[in-house]
A and B are shown apart, each in its own frame.
Chain A
Amino acid sequence: MHRGRNAASLVVAIVVIAFGWDAIRSPSSLNPGEPAIVSGKATPTADASLTNAARYPVVIKLLDRVPTVKTGLTNHHGESVSISCGACHATTTPNSETRSGTELDEFHQGLQYNHGNLTCLSCHNADSYDTLRLADSRPVTFRDAMTLCSQCHGPQRRDYDMGLHGGMTGYWDLTRGGRTRNSCIHCHDPHTPAFPQVRPVLPPKDRISVRREAAKDPLRP
């Protein structure tokens, strides 16, 4: 009797774990109409089905609007005027060979570009410049850009989903509070994605450092 109950609970546990894992690994929606990629682990619904305790969400900071370009002009209120990408690109002819802003006759001249062997239209959508485009030609919103990045950067996405990549703040215990995570573009400029070299902060000044400094001193024997 006891054994049967134990076996049953084990099966339940496995199912729960498997379901939980699926929730983590499930691909984000490719539908541009979907509101947000929220880490699978943290959607309140997914977790509500796992445990009885209410869980706070893990929110990924995502773009809340379609990116715009500053025109350098101001309106009669003195506010700078920005326009959507599509406003200009509606009148231009797309060139699928363009790989860098320097190849263009006008606009985007100062754009630094160093991202593999991609062309502009590898990611930007020539049919609608206010969206991006996946490798299989499906459109994807700027908000869902992580899906686009993940096409090539699978190991990074896997680590990201495991909480192993990218800065975060908040609570380890989601029953007590939520968590906020950076998305890809918070640290990696999509056009020059390599994480730059930085100057380290807070050099140690303990006794070991003092001894090393002394050893470097040429006046000392």
Chain B
Amino acid sequence: MDPSVNDPKLEANLSRRTVLKGFGAMLGAAAFAKAIAPITEWAANISAEEFVQKHYKELSPIDLEIILNRLQKETKDQYGADVTIKDYKAQPGVTFGYALNLSVCNGCRKCAEACHIENNHDRPSNQSYIRVFEMSKGSMDMEKGNAHYDHPVPQPDKFYMPVQCQQCEHPPCVDVCPVEATWKEPDGIVVVDYNWCIGCRYCEAACPYHARRFNWTKPKLPASAINPNQSYLSNRIRPQGVVEKCHFCLHRTRNGRLPACLEACPTGARVFGNLLDPDSEVRQVLAHGAFLNQ
């Protein structure tokens, strides 16, 4: 007779082990399901086309056209707006430069507002690529600058410094991106492929100018407020969870137009142009610096 069959002690042990194993397996399965829940939820929000989309630089013209059409359709479905999304390439022989005449800036923040409207920013958060600092005259300490002033400007003992992306020659934000979702274009503009960005925000931490913005939520804006003239690398409505930044309004400037912030400036503090053209205003300003001699 097999002792194991009739031994009550042994039988109880076996059954407890089975129960515990079953319980453990259930716990594990539940934990696994919970752990992968974000992936399943995320997958529901992302189309198969978007999931397999390649990096911007690897896209063929046909790929790009399909993607732009898809993005236009998505904007129509999600926001109810008919928009045109194009892809404008850097112009040969052009490197953009942007100069500011701080002696006339009056801190009205019209530039930040123009950016907000032009670039389809999230309306509730007043998001803009430009932050204007109110600083004490004689100081350049941005740590002490106040971006949240709310009184008539200009105050007599203050000056005002709009800060946006500097389009650095060696951009630290580009160096730290683990997936190469941001890079410097031949005309000097640092751009982001919003569909390639994983939202790690390393670039935001690396930027010494606090020039990058993170989309904590899906941007909210009414269809009537949407600027329909959009481009892939600039002002198309960004997805949630990606980083964005000033792109010198490349959908305008790559077509020869002035950036929106410059057109909105009532004082003419902003000078924009081609650094490679010796006749351009921005070159004259850099060469002569007349604005410093007042």
Q: Which residues of A approach B to under 8 Å, CB–CB?
A: 17, 20, 24, 41, 50, 155, 158-160, 162-173, 175-177, 179, 182, 187, 195, 197-206, 208-209, 212
Cα distance A168–B263 in the bound complex, in angstroms: 6
Contact across chains for A159 and B101 when beta carbons are under 8 A apart: yes
Contact across chains for A198 and B126 when beta carbons are under 8 A apart: no
Q: A165-B267, A200-B108 are in contact. Are A173 and B274 (CB under 8 A)?
A: yes
Contact across chains for B148 and A208 when beta carbons are under 8 A apart: yes
Q: Which residues of B approach A to under 8 Å, CB–CB?
A: 101, 104, 106-110, 112-113, 116, 124-128, 131-132, 147-150, 152-154, 213, 253, 255-258, 262-263, 265-269, 271-274, 278-281, 284-285, 288, 290-291, 293-294
Q: A200-B150, A203-B148, A204-B147 are in contact. Are A164 and B285 (CB under 8 A)?
A: yes
Q: A169-B263, A200-B108, A212-B148 are in contact. Are A155 and B153 (CB under 8 A)?
A: no
Residue of B nearest to A20 (CB): B279
Residue of B nearest to A197 (CB): B152
Question: 8 A-B Cβ contacts within 8 A?
Answer: A50-B279, A162-B284, A171-B258, A172-B256, A179-B258, A197-B153, A200-B132, A201-B112
Contact across chains for A195 and B128 when beta carbons are under 8 A apart: no
Q: Which of B109, B154, B272 has the most CB atoms of chain A within a 10 A radius of its CB?
A: B109
Q: Chain B binding site: helix, strand, loop or mixed by DSSP? A: loop
How far in angstroms is the closest Cβ of chain A from B205?
14
By a CB distance below 8 angstroms, the chain B residues around A169 are: 258, 263
By a CB distance below 8 angstroms, the chain B residues around A202 are: 109, 112-113, 116, 126, 128
Contact across chains for A165 and B258 when beta carbons are under 8 A apart: no
How far in angstroms is the closest Cβ of chain A from B243?
14
How far in angstroms is the closest Cβ of chain B from A154?
10
Residue of A nearest to B268 (CB): A166
Contact across chains for B256 and A173 when beta carbons are under 8 A apart: yes
How far in angstroms is the closest Cβ of chain B from A93?
41
Contact across chains for B147 and A200 when beta carbons are under 8 A apart: no
